[in-house]
Amino acid sequence: MTTNVVISGFKRTAFQPAKKGAFAKMRSDDLAAAVLKDLVKSSGLKASDVEDVMLGCAFPEAEQGFNVARLVVNLSELPISVGGVTVNRFCGSSMSTIHFAAGQIMAGAGDVYIAGGLESMTRVPMTGFNPMPNPKLAADYPQAYIGMGETAENLANKYKIDRKSQDEFAVKSHEKAAAAAKAGKFKDEITPVETADGVVDSDGTIRPDTTMEGLAGLKPAFDEKGSVTAGTSSPLTDGAAACIVCSEDYAKKNNLEILARIRGMAVSGCEAEIMGIGPVQASKKALERAGLKLSDMDVIELNEAFAAQSLAVIEEMGIDQSKLNLDGGAIALGHPLGVSGVRITCKAASIMKREGKKYALATMCIGGGQGIATVLEAV
Amino acid sequence: MTKGIKKVCVIGSGVMGSGIAAQVANAGHDVLLLDIVPKDAENRNMLAEGAIAKMLKTDPAPLMHKRNAKRITPGNVEDDLEKIKDCDWIIEVVLENLDIKKSLYEKLEKHRTDGTYVSSNTSSIPLEQLVEGRSADFTKNFMITHFFNPPRYLRLLELVTGDKTDPKAVSVVRDFCDRKLGKGVVVCHDTPGFIANRIGAFWLQAGVNEAFDLGLSVEEADAVMSRPVGIPKTGVFGLIDLVGLDLMPHLSKSLLSNLPKSDAYHAIYKEYDLINKLIETGYTGRKGKGGFYRLNTEGGQRVKESIGLVTGEYEESKKAKPAAVDAAKDGGIRALVTHDDKTGQYAWNVLSQMLSYAASLVGEIADNVYDIDRAMKLGYNFKKGPFELIDEMGAGWFAEQLKSHNMDVPEIVTKAGAADGFYKVEDGQKKYFGRDGKYHDIPRDDGVILLEDIKLTTKPVKKNSSAALWDIGDGVLCLEFCGKMNALDDKVMFMIYEAIGQIGDGSGDYKALVVYNEGSNFSVGANLGLALFALNVGMYEAVDGLVQLGQDAYKTLKYAPFPVVSAPSGMALGGGCEILLHSDAVQAHAETYTGLVEVGVGLIPGWGGCKEMLKRHHKFGKFKGPMAHVSAAFEQIGLAKVAKSADEARDMMILLKDDEITMNRDRLLADAKAKALELAKDYGAPEPAEIPLPGPTAQVALNMAVADLNKSGKATDYDVVVSKALANVLSGGDKADMTEPLTEDRILELEAEEFKGLIRNKGTVKRIEHMMETGKPLRN
């Protein structure tokens, strides 16, 4: 790559369960604005240097409508000269904002970007308010609109992933997240948010008391004969996140703390009915572009849309689970669709830095049949 | 100046207190709910707060809408008594203990504003003792208001006043209870147990005694002492289970200690080892492990069991078919009580004792027989009060029977027997037999209009076996459904056309129509029995014709040049809901349970219900957009949602902004009539609407959602078929596009088309059959 691009500074709100969580009455643009203000302040970034704010959102309508990224620029009181663009690639939305920002920097179109995402799954439903599928496509290729739960069932069947392994995976995710929370490992990344009921600064999604017995009692959520339950799916979640993407030169010149250098990026389409397998091809492409192998990776963040989906990817790629999702994954932390990409990419970067490792991979699946991946390198 | 009632304070947040507070909140008034501070409590409001939390979970719900909970402010009697200065009525619902009540009243004196009404919900302590030592202003404004549990659902309110109670205060409180709380207020004398519990406790005791003595099973006893005599199906033992076995001794003890030894209740009172043992072992009734009946879930199955009164062991419950009940089907209540077996004896023994007892109390517990009958009907849900029951047998005949059984004949029974019974109609006026031996007009509260009364003075304008038209005065015509269960059929539709013809352009004898009846349910919808018969013999066109007839009748009614006000109470389902949707206004009784439930029998609304719901959600829906109204209507109809109160029906847009709610059932017709007259003043028929619908894209979206539900086991295979038909109607059909709004007529066509398809499907026929046989929807 011509220009080295780095990720510097990462902030997110606490993740709160949709509808019953502490952000049920918060607009997601306000959440994003709180994160951006904190990010600028804590990093010491000179706001007027920012070229553009790119925010991912999977259902950019209603309170997340208009061009919400530009409105978040206004809400966070960034200089009027800063641009704003909303990006939608469903679950991959905000990882794409990192890629797009990096691409722009490499193309010489600016030095500093803010990449992030926002999603209130409480206030904008997962189908949007007016789902209107194309009847012709629905007839010819119905899986284009397939429900996510069904894709997880398909992978469970294809890879023969039984209920017990899924439950074990979910318990582990909660254990890791609970341990990380207890050890204060989320403290630096979380922006405290003022709500009507007080300040919210810890994740409301983690259930440290999750047990195999408890999970075993749950009924299948999507297919009565299937194996995927609410307990082995990522919960509907409200939240926002953002990071600084800039040239390595700029970061060094301005004394910004560097989390990681971006070494490889890729997206790849796959069959919609097994969208969860998307990370396999995307990771392969990103690693190739970085000139690295999976075995070179010290830290891996794989978004846990579903336990069945994660286990299928793990098996297909041969991922060493001791490197995986060390601070817990989306099953425990939650999956605000347009936000998770920035969270896992920056999580991979910060774990790598914290543990003194060299390479990291962040990858995730995307509804409709895609995968996206980023390869990072310590600086 | 007499004080009006705005804010109410309820002290005591137990079952009764919280139920009363909920009903006041249902009436739209703010309530301060106070209770004691439990020892060492960290949260000093924990009792009242807990009561409010419980209200939101209790079923049947004490609140008519969850938001009403916000009208109730919790507090405690140690920190918050000064807040009662802003309350206009304080209802005390604390423990039945004179000292506790008196010491509370003493504290209330310090904080209450002069003129604030105070009442006690006591069921046993004489008013005179309660006001002892109180100030003149307190005494003047004090009375007993005795509610029945659950306060939202049981309509009786027994009102007791003292010599010193200010009549103006009584009138304000009474009016509030009547109009706002929807209560049937019965004035009682200040005697133990007042009316309903005095007679009720005696009846239950007699019912238990005789079952033990005659060796009846609880099923046999309850089968006799229920429907055949117009008493709810719980009978004696089922009712004790419902009330709680452990509560019965409290009621008895309070009565026994306050009633003179000469009272007949002392003579029949008996304790049973079996019942005491049940209470001790936690079998306190439905709220406990079970009572006389229980559901045994051991071994994974739900088996209904009952206790053997002789064996004291639970056995599988056997449905009783007493011979006396069979006899009563043709021969009425006389045949029941004279049937020559132990079930007939049981009927006679229990009824003769209870009715004689009631008759012996006229004058003592209430002024007249009418008040006693009314109290039993409103408080114990009897279809007929004791004196109406005697009249049904014949008062003279009953007196003779008592004599032949060597029982005392109460004087008033002898006298009424010699006259025309306890009730008669004279010159179109219903009258009751007074203690003075004369007949007196049945009193009606100010402004109450009842069809029951109108029917005594006039003949119907038109009538057939399913519906009738009545002149209810001032140019208003009333359409009454009167078929079995108020089911809707072609005859009802003809009567709608008849009404349209009678009223014409409103310039003749009539200018408005009210749709109203006094059945326990407004209407549970179309006559399914009739439809099923036609479908079974392949007469599909007959059912198609009824769909067309209903659509046309409702549509013509809607656009007729006069106002139509529907006034439902109880269930208004399916076609019964659709007529509300086609009215200019709805004046609903608060206890209205309404919804479009057609999918439960494999159908979709076919008389314009789909069209109206689309229109309403499009015009008034919370969310906007090309799919928003379609999704909202689909969810509501597809899940057969039913509002559990008139207030909830607003959320479902069955009631709209200008529609109103009447709390007191007896005032419904008067309110509906007033509304109709108001609308008639300057009436113009509504303009038909055009509704934008998205067409095929909407079908795809809705069908995908249902497919997911089917996969996850939340929708059955036949649900998918019915939903598809519904989706086709609500999307506007294959050719619709959001840029070209559809006419109402086009949507009606779609409704009819899809309806016709469904009735020709075996799955629908199976659903209808199952509903007719079991009363429950089939999940095929």
Identify which of A237, A327, A323, A300 has the alpha carbon closest to the alpha carbon of residue A19.
Answer: A237
| Predicted confidence band of residue A180 (pLDDT cuts 50, 70, 90) | very high
For residue B629, give the chain A residue with the closest CA.
A130
Is A346 an annotated catalytic residue? no
A132 with B698: Cβ contact below 8 A: yes
Q: Which of A132, A135, A150 sits opposite B627 (nearest CB)?
A: A132
Active-site residue (options: A57, A91, A246, A346) = A91
pLDDT tens-digit series, residues B417-431: 999 999 999 988 999
Would an 8 Å CB–CB cutoff place A137 in contact with chain B? no
| Predicted confidence band of residue B751 (pLDDT cuts 50, 70, 90) | very high
Neighbours of A196 (CB within 10 A): 7
The reported pLDDT for the residue numbered B3 is 86
> Which residues of B fall within a CB distance of 8 Å from A145?
700, 704
Q: How far apart are CA A311 and CA A295, in angstroms?
A: 18
SS3 readout for B307-373? ECCCCCCEEECCCCCCHHHHHHHHHHHHHHHHCCCHHHHHHHHHHHHHHHHHHHCECCCECCHHHHH
Identify which of B649, B641, B654 has the alpha carbon closest to the alpha carbon of residue B597.
Answer: B641
Is A365 an annotated catalytic residue? yes
Amino acid of residue B711: K
For residue A148, give the chain B residue with the closest CA.
B708
pLDDT tens-digit series, residues A3-20: 999 999 999 999 999 999
The strand pair at B423-426 and B156-160 is best described as unpaired
Would an 8 Å CB–CB cutoff place A80 in contact with chain B? no
A132 with B704: Cβ contact below 8 A: no
| Predicted confidence band of residue A1 (pLDDT cuts 50, 70, 90) | very low
A138 with B711: Cβ contact below 8 A: no
The strand pair at B8-11 and B89-92 is best described as parallel
pLDDT tens-digit series, residues B315-355: 999 989 999 999 999 899 999 999 999 999 999 999 999 99
pLDDT tens-digit series, residues B198-237: 999 999 999 999 999 999 999 999 999 999 999 999 999 9
Q: How far apart are CA B276 and CA B253, in angstroms?
A: 14
**Rounded to the nearest 5 degrees, what angle is found at the Cα of B488, between the Cα atoms of B608 and B600?**
65
Average pLDDT, integer, range B495-512? 96
Average pLDDT, integer, range B260-269? 96
Q: How far apart are CA B442 and CA B191, in angstroms?
A: 23
Would an 8 Å CB–CB cutoff place A134 in contact with chain B? yes
Q: How far apart are CA B686 and CA B216, in angstroms?
A: 62
The reported pLDDT for the residue numbered B1 is 61
pLDDT tens-digit series, residues A288-343: 999 999 999 999 999 999 999 999 999 999 999 999 999 999 999 999 999 999 99
pLDDT tens-digit series, residues B440-461: 999 999 999 999 999 999 999 9
What is the pLDDT of chain A when averaged over all its residues? 97
Q: How far apart are CA A278 and CA A274, in angstroms?
A: 8
- Residue pair B527/B542 in contact by the 8 Å Cβ criterion: no
pLDDT tens-digit series, residues A71-91: 999 999 999 999 999 999 999
Question: How many angstroms separate the CA of residue A328 from the nearest CA in chain B?
Answer: 28
Question: How many angstroms separate the CA of residue B609 from the nearest CA in chain A?
Answer: 22
B708 with A221: Cβ contact below 8 A: no
The strand pair at B592-595 and B570-573 is best described as parallel
Q: How far apart are CA A32 and CA A108, in angstroms?
A: 27
B627 with A135: Cβ contact below 8 A: no
For residue B715, give the chain A residue with the closest CA.
A224
pLDDT tens-digit series, residues B580-605: 999 999 999 999 999 999 999 999 99
Residue with tokens 């009662």: B84
Containing H/E element for A86? Answer: strand A83-87
Amino acid of residue B585: A
pLDDT tens-digit series, residues A18-58: 999 999 999 999 999 999 999 999 999 999 999 999 999 99
**Helix, strand or coil for residue A45?**
coil
**Helix, strand or coil for residue A332?**
helix
Separation of CA A308 from chain center: 18
How far is CA B231 from each of CA B23, B257, B525, rounded to the nearest angstrom? 25, 28, 26
Q: How far apart are CA B479 and CA B510, in angstroms?
A: 13
For residue B622, give the chain A residue with the closest CA.
A129
Which residues lie below 8 Å from residue B358, measured CB to CB, with a gap of 6+? B199, B372, B376, B386, B387
Question: How many angstroms separate the CA of residue A67 from the nearest CA in chain B?
Answer: 18
The reported pLDDT for the residue numbered B302 is 86
Neighbours of B728 (CB within 10 A): 24
The burial class, CB within 10 Å (0-12 / 13-18 / 19+), for B187 is middle
B708 with A147: Cβ contact below 8 A: yes
B627 with A131: Cβ contact below 8 A: yes
Average pLDDT, integer, range A158-168? 98
The reported pLDDT for the residue numbered B366 is 96
pLDDT tens-digit series, residues B82-139: 999 999 999 999 998 999 999 999 999 999 999 999 999 998 889 999 999 999 999 9
For residue B711, give the chain A residue with the closest CA.
A223
pTM, full prediction: 0.91
Neighbours of B718 (CB within 10 A): 19
Assigned token pair, B226: 């229920």
Identify which of A302, A295, A264, A299 has the alpha carbon closest to the alpha carbon of residue A280.
Answer: A302
Assigned token pair, A224: 């009565």
Buried b (16+ CB within 10 A) or exposed e, A44-62: ebebeebbbbbbbbbbbeb
Active-site residue (options: A99, A174, A246, A335) = A335
> Which residues of A fall within a CB distance of 8 Å from B699?
135
pLDDT tens-digit series, residues B657-709: 999 999 999 999 999 999 999 999 999 999 999 999 999 999 999 999 999 99
Q: Which of A130, A147, A222 sits opposite B627 (nearest CB)?
A: A130
Identify which of B560, B591, B577, B570 has the alpha carbon closest to the alpha carbon of residue B477.
Answer: B560
Identify which of B122, B127, B135, B117 has the alpha carbon closest to the alpha carbon of residue B171.
Answer: B117
| Predicted confidence band of residue B476 (pLDDT cuts 50, 70, 90) | very high
The strand pair at A370-377 and A359-366 is best described as antiparallel
Residue with tokens 């208003």: B476
Residue with tokens 């392949």: B538
Question: How many angstroms separate the CA of residue B291 from the nearest CA in chain A?
Answer: 32
Residue with tokens 């076996």: B465
ipTM of predicted assembly, 2 dp: 0.89
Stretch 177-216 of chain A: residues touching chain B, C-beta under 8 Å: none
Which residues lie below 8 Å from residue B303, measured CB to CB, with a gap of 6+? B295, B296, B297, B316
Q: Which of A132, A147, A223 sits opposite B697 (nearest CB)?
A: A132
Residue B515 has what DSSP assignment?
A: E
- Residue pair A308/A281 in contact by the 8 Å Cβ criterion: no
Is A99 an annotated catalytic residue? no
Q: Which of B626, B708, B711 sits opposite A132 (nearest CB)?
A: B626
Would an 8 Å CB–CB cutoff place A144 in contact with chain B? no
pLDDT tens-digit series, residues A269-298: 999 999 999 999 999 999 999 999 999 999
For residue A226, give the chain B residue with the closest CA.
B712
Q: How far apart are CA B664 and CA B182, in angstroms?
A: 4
Which residues lie below 8 Å from residue B34, measured CB to CB, with a gap of 6+? B9, B10, B11, B12, B13, B48, B74, B75, B76, B77, B80, B81
